Amino acid sequence: MKTVFFDIDTQIDFMFPAGALYAPGAEKILPTVARLNHQAAKHRIPLISTMDAHSENDPEFVQWPHHCVVETLGQRKPASTLLEKYVVVPNAPCAVPLAEQILLEKQTFSALSNVNFARLLDHFQAERYIVYGVVTEVCVKFAAFGLLETGQRVEIVTDAICALSDENGAQTLADFQAAGGYLTHAGMIYA
Ligand SMILES: [Zn+2]
């Protein structure tokens, strides 16, 4: 089954206690996220790693604390989650790059907001999407529900996600299943 992995927003500001918008416990999923990313490379599965890329005065900061401002340390991805060959795709029209990891920049919650998103999906023609990262009830949710609209199989990796609030995270997973999505574990994807 043609598969694409989506590693959502696993950036320093979300993943570590000193980060600007830390999801409690997020650092604990980091080894699993890193393993999944490297498994993608090993099995030649396209990996799309989304990244918040905010400006200093981003409209999102009305609702949320400053986070993932371009060129800050907090906006970067931990080294363990980066593959050898990655390429940054800004939110501006550009050619679909051939790289084992695509760092897809975005300014809003949804990965689909990058203007190259539809073209990327067209290019890969996947029948299955594996989604993980942070935070469950915001950007993971937007990506997973957005991908469900393609009509293909979408799976959230429950041991490779982290929520800001456990209750909201659990509600998101319940809603996702009710909408036709599947839950899985990292160990079930590739042994
Ligand atoms: Zn953001």
Q: Compute the distance from residue 51 Cα to the ligand 1 centre, in Å.
A: 9
Alpha-carbon distance 78 to 44, whole Å? 22
Do the beta carbons of residue 33 and residue 82 sit within 8 Å? Answer: no
Q: Compute the distance from residue 4 Cα to the ligand 1 centre, in Å.
A: 23
Q: Compute the distance from residue 110 Cα to the ligand 1 centre, in Å.
A: 9
- pLDDT for res 191: 55
- Span between the terminal Cα atoms of the chain, in Å: 16
Alpha-carbon distance 113 to 103, whole Å? 14
Q: What is the pTM of this model?
A: 0.96
Q: Compute the distance from residue 45 Cα to the ligand 1 centre, in Å.
A: 26
Q: Give the pLDDT confidence of 136-157 residue by residue, as tens digits.
A: 999 999 999 999 999 999 999 9
Q: Give the pLDDT confidence of 66-121 residue by residue, as tens digits.
A: 999 999 999 999 999 999 999 999 999 998 777 899 999 999 999 999 999 999 99
For helices 141-148 and 166-178, give the axis angle rounded to 10 degrees: 0
Q: Compute the distance from residue 108 Cα to the ligand 1 centre, in Å.
A: 6
Q: Compute the distance from residue 2 Cα to the ligand 1 centre, in Å.
A: 30
Q: Which residue has the tokens 């990996």?
A: 47
